[in-house]
Amino acid sequence: MSLLSLMIIVFTSCQEDNSIDQEIPDNNIDEDSDGYYEYTMFVDEDNDFYGTGNPQIIETSEIIISNENYPEGYSLFDGDCDDTNPSVNPEAIEIAANSVDENCDQEIEPGEFPFSVGNKWYYEGGSWITNHAESEGYDYIVLRESIEELIIDNQRHFRIKEIQIIEGQEDVVIYHTFKSEFWISDFSYLENEIIFDDEVTTYVKDGSFGRVSNKEAFSSEFGRLNYFYSYDDDLTYSVNSYYLKGCIINGVSYGDTSAIE
């Protein structure tokens, strides 16, 4: 074999070894010099920077530096457990008691009422019966105090002492036991209200039906906020209701606490 033939064989072999390079995803290098980079990405329908489903190789004309230049509808990260809701992804803040797993950790957080031992509540209300001729009734106050923590069936409960005071006299003393945890499914609907200058989410139980109206509202910050019951039988209309005037929660006073300090 001549020297020229050997040179041609070596040159041809080198040409074959240096053909167009294979593109390697996720290394920020454009191996095949076509002006595009390849990345392993996931479909992100709600554009919250977390996707779901099977990974796909996506081409982009620029190097991905952060989520600000992701291709539209895609993300480098998966783990989104609800890709139709941008408030749900692995970095979202979990909201208690709403039956939604915001941070996709496969756990739903319950809410918790402020029943710590020593917390107190002061309510004002009244009870009236009205017929076509006259109306009679009385005003009263309700004082509540969390006095004991209990563990029942591995759940925290609190014993609440309640005193009704009518015309300055203690009329009824009742002890209630409540679970500290609650779920949104325990209530009929949610509202936002201003309570003691704070905007809070109120959880409303509405048991109204026919001639009976029975509603009460709670919040995780202040516990029970109000209670309302009425009955109308065409001849008489009776009402029993009270609302929160003030409370002491974990040593902090809210509203009027003159009756519980």
For residue 213, tell me if it sits in a domain.
Answer: yes
Instruction: Label residues 151-182 b or e (16+ Cβ within 10 Å = b).
Output: eeeeeebbbbeeebeeeeeeeeeeeeebbbbb
For residue 117, tell me if it sits in a domain.
Answer: yes
> Which residue, 109, 132, 149, sits at the end of a domain?
109
Whether 222 and 242 share a structural domain: yes
Q: With helix as H, strand as E and coil as C, how does 167-219 read?
A: CCEEEEEEEEEEECEECHHHCCEEEEEEECCEEEEEEEEECCECCEEEEEEEE
Q: Answer for the pair 52, 43: CB distance below 8 angstroms, yes or no.
A: yes
Domains identified in the chain, total number = 2
CA atoms 78, 82, 86, 87: torsion sign: negative
Provide the greatest CA pair distance for the chain.
129
Whether 48 and 101 share a structural domain: yes
For residue 6, tell me if it sits in a domain.
Answer: no
Whether 205 and 93 share a structural domain: no
> Which residue, 69, 89, 109, sits at the end of a domain?
109
Whether 73 and 181 share a structural domain: no
Whether 63 and 185 share a structural domain: no
* Strands lying side by side in the sheet with 74-75: 52-60, 37-43, 74-75
User: What confidence tens digit (pLDDT) does each residue in 121-174 have?
Assistant: 999 999 999 987 788 999 999 999 999 999 999 889 999 999 999 988 888 899
pLDDT higher at 7 or 98: 98
Whether 166 and 137 share a structural domain: yes
Q: Answer for the pair 112, 95: CB distance below 8 angstroms, yes or no.
A: no
Whether 72 and 84 share a structural domain: yes
Mean pLDDT, residues 92-118: 87
For residue 246, tell me if it sits in a domain.
Answer: yes
Whether 133 and 206 share a structural domain: yes
Structural domain of residue 149, as residue ranges? 112-255
Whether 170 and 45 share a structural domain: no
Q: What pLDDT band is residue 98 in, cutting at 50, 70 and 90? A: confident
Q: What pLDDT band is residue 20 in, cutting at 50, 70 and 90? A: low
Whether 29 and 46 share a structural domain: yes
pTM, 2 dp: 0.67
